[in-house]
């Protein structure tokens, strides 16, 4: 065997083992959580583990869902996430459009600033936010949490939609103007239909961000907990299988949604999606 | 149908001047080509006519109406873009119908006009397809059909053939000409390809660095360029420019002499490659460096008194690199150019 083929084979082994490790890094915890969630009290402590999570049936999951407060919290979480999705799209998509289409002073700085908001630790904001929210009556409301989550999701929506709009040739819009459209009509008839799948992906991504967020949700609510915040408070005094069931329910929407829109999220990081 | 009047249009991008005080009249039904190298401002001018770009100063009239401040949709024009800009999420039919639908035309009228335009451009078989399923040439036809379907007073075209391959370009060129001839639409056509401009246009405006160097009929432009730039840009191979010393009213080089009227002691002779005859003796001494058989002619590249020159001779001429030939330019076809400002002498540039 020549040196070249050895190094080629070695590289291939490295490549695939890297992929395997990355997959395992994500999939093994999910698998273990699923085992715990469906196994019930017995399943959590059983050793060796069952290979399939659902061989002990859905009883454990059903028991978890029957606990008081879980459904309300889940609905609250969904409501907050939907509001976040709506707000971040309404605010982020126009920002993205402006970033993509217009040249203005400080454009690059603005782009950077948008990302930098994510670097700002939320913990520092917790107290002033709480105080402000109590004063304005937003405290302990889904709307209040949704506003904070919107602030968190906005950088993503703005940047994703800006790269989306950049992918739509300006000439298409100009052609629409020439052939009788106002600016708004051209946007609605030409740009929006072309950007819609990507915008949907950005919206779903902000849904997931909100659904998973726990800190702001815990600090800013007392009775109207989202699912994450609710679980955080009850987990400490719950049996292990209960925690697993909660964890599984939390990651499920994210995994499904992200899987559904993965193509567009790749585009967001500048990797071509075709 | 309408003429276009461009009145002292100026465009500045910051400190840079893209267009300087440009005035131009396009007659009703005329096909005008804006020809120039990239960055000469021709596309900017077209986009200002379309209303996609705003002029820094000056006015635009279409059919006598001042449209300077109107948005594109109110200017009564249609445009064909360089990258076609057909809407990918609409069928060919809906693309062609787009302008009519925006005008609120009735379905019967839309159908009639779409079929007429589709017939002109031979795209009837693709009407129900999406643009992604079409080749570049077919998309180009859709873009032209979309423009013609609205029966515009003015048609603007921005290098519409430059994305096509050479053979298709030639085919589309003659087809465009016949379609536009029969429709009689006033057309402004931007191109950097001088053969395209020569072949299509009634008149050509040659632009350079934001000004119009010359505007004239293609043949006149070719034979009597007003400036050295026009002579060098229009025609292939470009015009030869040979500097000659002037003494006592005679431009003289080698055994060639010709009376000229200039106060300077040097003059540039602009001579087309095909306006030169090879003679037995006398004339300009020409040292052949390269011979290129082009089929219809044999193109010789060489030097006249150290200056680069190209000569087209009969394809069966026996010439080899290193030969010295004697050239006799036909005197009536020489364009005398003032070397100081690059303008032709005896012509208003």
| pLDDT value, residue A268 | 52
Residue B69 pLDDT level (bands cut at 50, 70, 90): very high
| pLDDT value, residue A255 | 84
> In this complex, do B79 and A175 lie within 8 Å of one another by their Cβ atoms?
yes
Say if residues B205 and B34 touch (Cβ distance below 8 Å). yes
The CA distance from B336 to B326, in Å, is: 21
Give, in order, the Cα–Cα distances in Å from A58 to each of A35, A70, A96, A227, B73. Answer: 11, 17, 44, 20, 62
* Residue of A237 and B24 predicted with greater confidence: B24
| pLDDT value, residue A250 | 83
B72, B82, B89 ranked by CB distance to A193: nearest:
B89
Closest of B149, B5, B155 to residue B77, by C-alpha:
B155
B247, β-bridge pairs: B250
pTM to 2 decimal places: 0.81
Residue-by-residue pLDDT tens, chain A, 274 positions: 577 788 889 999 999 999 999 999 988 888 888 888 877 777 667 666 666 666 556 777 777 777 778 888 889 999 999 999 999 999 999 999 999 998 888 888 888 888 888 788 888 888 888 999 999 999 999 999 999 999 999 998 998 889 889 989 999 999 999 999 999 999 999 999 998 888 888 888 899 899 989 888 888 888 888 888 888 888 777 888 788 888 888 888 888 887 887 776 665 544 433 3
Residue pairs between chains A and B whose CB atoms are closer than 8 Å:
57
The CA distance from B202 to B31, in Å, is: 5
| Average pLDDT of span B262-291 | 90
- Residues of chain B in contact with residue A176, where contact means CB-CB under 8 angstroms, are 87, 98
For chain B, the residues whose C-beta falls within 8 A of a C-beta of chain A are 50-52, 71-73, 77-79, 81-83, 85-89, 98-99, 102-103, 146, 150
| pLDDT value, residue A59 | 73
Question: Given a cut of 60, is residue B348 above it in pLDDT?
Answer: no
- Residues of chain A in contact with residue B88, where contact means CB-CB under 8 angstroms, are 172, 194
Read off the pLDDT of residues B131-142 as tens digits, 9 standing for 90 and up.
998 998 899 999
CA distance B71 to chain A (A): 8
Closest of B112, B138, B140 to residue B125, by C-alpha:
B138
DSSP state of B283: B
> In this complex, do A174 and B71 lie within 8 Å of one another by their Cβ atoms?
no
> In this complex, do B99 and A169 lie within 8 Å of one another by their Cβ atoms?
no
| Residues with Cβ within 8 Å of residue B172, at least 6 apart in sequence | B137, B140, B141, B161, B164
- Which residue shows structure tokens 């609605």? A188
**Residue A173: closest CA among chain B residues belongs to which residue?**
B85
Fold adopted by B4-227? Rossmann fold (3.40.50)
* Total Cβ atoms within 10 A of residue A181: 23
| pLDDT value, residue A270 | 47
Say if residues B294 and B230 touch (Cβ distance below 8 Å). no
Q: How does B142-162 read in b/e, with b if 16+ C-beta sit within 10 Å?
A: bbbbbbbbbbbbbbbbbbbbe
**Residue B82: closest CA among chain A residues belongs to which residue?**
A171
Backbone angles phi, psi at B195, to 5 degrees: -70, -35
Q: Tally helices (H) and strands (E) across chain A.
A: 13, 0
| pLDDT value, residue A56 | 59
ipTM: 0.86
| pLDDT value, residue A274 | 34
The CA distance from A189 to B321, in Å, is: 63
Q: Taking the CA atoms of chain A, what radius of gyration do you get in angstroms? A: 23
**Residue A171: closest CA among chain B residues belongs to which residue?**
B85
Domain spanning B237-337, CATH architecture:
Beta Barrel (2.40)
Question: Given a cut of 60, is residue B297 above it in pLDDT?
Answer: yes
Read off the pLDDT of residues B236-267 as tens digits, 9 standing for 90 and up.
899 999 999 998 888 888 888 888 888 888 99
Fold adopted by A62-268? MetI-like fold (1.10.3720)
B73, B81, B150 ranked by CB distance to A171: nearest:
B81
The CA distance from B225 to B220, in Å, is: 7
| Average pLDDT of span B177-201 | 92
| Average pLDDT of span B155-164 | 91
CB hemisphere CA count around B90 (13 angstroms): 21
> In this complex, do B99 and A190 lie within 8 Å of one another by their Cβ atoms?
no
| pLDDT value, residue A49 | 67
Question: Given a cut of 60, is residue B306 above it in pLDDT?
Answer: yes
DSSP three-state, residue A149:
helix
**Residue B73: closest CA among chain A residues belongs to which residue?**
A180
The CA distance from A246 to A267, in Å, is: 32
> In this complex, do A179 and B146 lie within 8 Å of one another by their Cβ atoms?
yes
- Residues of chain A in contact with residue B99, where contact means CB-CB under 8 angstroms, are 179-180
| pLDDT value, residue B349 | 35
User: Integer distance in angstroms from the first to the last C-alpha of chain B?
Assistant: 30
Backbone angles phi, psi at A170, to 5 degrees: -60, -30
| Average pLDDT of span B145-154 | 93
| pLDDT value, residue A188 | 93
Read off the pLDDT of residues B204-220 as tens digits, 9 standing for 90 and up.
999 999 999 999 999 99
> In this complex, do B99 and A185 lie within 8 Å of one another by their Cβ atoms?
no
> In this complex, do B89 and A172 lie within 8 Å of one another by their Cβ atoms?
no
| pLDDT value, residue A273 | 37
| pLDDT value, residue A160 | 85
For chain A, the residues whose C-beta falls within 8 A of a C-beta of chain B are 169, 171-172, 174-182, 185, 190, 193-194
For chain A, the structural domain boundaries read 3-57, 62-268
B77, B82, B86 ranked by CB distance to A178: nearest:
B77
């Amino acid at each position: 065997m020549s040196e070249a083929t050895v190094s080629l084979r070695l590289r291939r082994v490295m490549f695939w083992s890297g992929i395997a490790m990355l997959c395992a890094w994500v999939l093994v915890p999910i698998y273990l959580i699923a085992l715990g969630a469906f196994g019930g009290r017995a399943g959590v402590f059983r050793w060796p583990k069952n290979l399939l999570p659902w061989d002990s049936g859905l009883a454990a999951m059903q028991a978890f869902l029957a606990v008081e407060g879980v459904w309300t919290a889940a609905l609250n979480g969904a409501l907050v996430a939907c509001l976040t999705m709506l707000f971040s799209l309404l605010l982020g998509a126009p920002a993205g459009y402006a970033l993509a289409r217009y040249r203005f002073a400080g454009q690059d700085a603005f782009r950077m600033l948008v990302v930098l908001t994510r670097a700002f630790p939320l913990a520092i904001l917790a107290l002033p936010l709480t105080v402000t929210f109590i004063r304005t009556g937003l405290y302990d409301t889904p709307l209040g949490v949704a506003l904070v989550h919107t602030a968190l999701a906005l950088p993503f929506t703005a940047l994703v939609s800006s790269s989306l709009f950049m992918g739509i040739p300006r000439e298409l819009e100009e052609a629409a103007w020439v052939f009788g459209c106002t600016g708004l009509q051209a946007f609605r008839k030409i740009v929006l239909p072309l950007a819609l799948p990507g915008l949907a992906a950005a919206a779903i991504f902000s849904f997931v961000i909100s659904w998973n967020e726990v800190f702001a949700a815990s600090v800013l609510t007392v009775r109207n907990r989202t699912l994450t915040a609710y679980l955080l408070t009850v987990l400490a005094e719950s049996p292990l299988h209960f925690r697993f069931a909660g964890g599984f329910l939390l990651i499920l929407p994210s995994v499904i949604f992200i899987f559904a829109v993965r193509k567009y999220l790749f585009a967001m990081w500048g990797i071509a999606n075709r | 149908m309408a003429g276009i009047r461009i009145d002292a249009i100026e465009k500045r991008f910051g400190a840079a001047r893209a267009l300087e005080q440009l005035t131009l009249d396009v007659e009703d039904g005329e096909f005008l080509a804006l020809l120039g190298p990239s960055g000469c401002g021709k596309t900017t001018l077209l986009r200002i006519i379309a209303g996609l770009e705003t002029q820094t100063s000056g006015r635009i009239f279409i059919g006598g109406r001042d449209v300077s401040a109107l948005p594109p949709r109110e200017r009564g024009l249609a445009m064909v873009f360089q990258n076609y800009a057909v809407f990918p999420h609409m069928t060919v039919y809906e693309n062609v119908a787009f302008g009519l639908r925006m005008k609120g035309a009735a379905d019967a009228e839309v159908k009639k006009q779409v079929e007429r335009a589709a017939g002109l451009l031979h795209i009837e078989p693709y009407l129900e397809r999406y643009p992604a399923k079409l080749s570049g040439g077919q998309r180009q036809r859709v873009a032209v059909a979309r423009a013609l379907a609205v029966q515009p007073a003015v048609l603007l075209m921005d290098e519409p053939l430059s994305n096509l391959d050479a053979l298709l370009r030639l085919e589309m060129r003659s087809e465009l000409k016949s379609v536009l001839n029969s429709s009689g639409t006033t057309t402004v056509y931007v191109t950097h390809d001088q053969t395209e401009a020569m072949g299509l246009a009634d008149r050509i405006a040659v632009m350079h660095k934001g000004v119009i160097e010359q505007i004239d009929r293609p043949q006149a432009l070719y034979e009597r360029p007003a400036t050295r730039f026009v002579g060098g840009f229009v025609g292939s191979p470009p015009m030869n420019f040979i500097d000659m010393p002037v003494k006592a009213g005679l431009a003289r080089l080698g055994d060639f002499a010709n009376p000229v009227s200039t106060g300077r002691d040097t003059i540039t002779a602009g001579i087309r490659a095909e306006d030169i005859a090879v003679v037995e003796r006398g004339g300009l001494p020409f040292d052949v460096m390269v011979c290129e058989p082009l089929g219809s002619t044999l193109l010789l590249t060489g030097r006249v008194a150290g200056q680069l020159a190209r000569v087209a001779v009969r394809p069966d001429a026996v010439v080899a690199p290193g030969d010295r030939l004697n050239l006799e330019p036909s005197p009536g076809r020489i364009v005398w150019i003032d070397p100081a400002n690059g303008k032709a002498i005896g012509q208003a540039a």
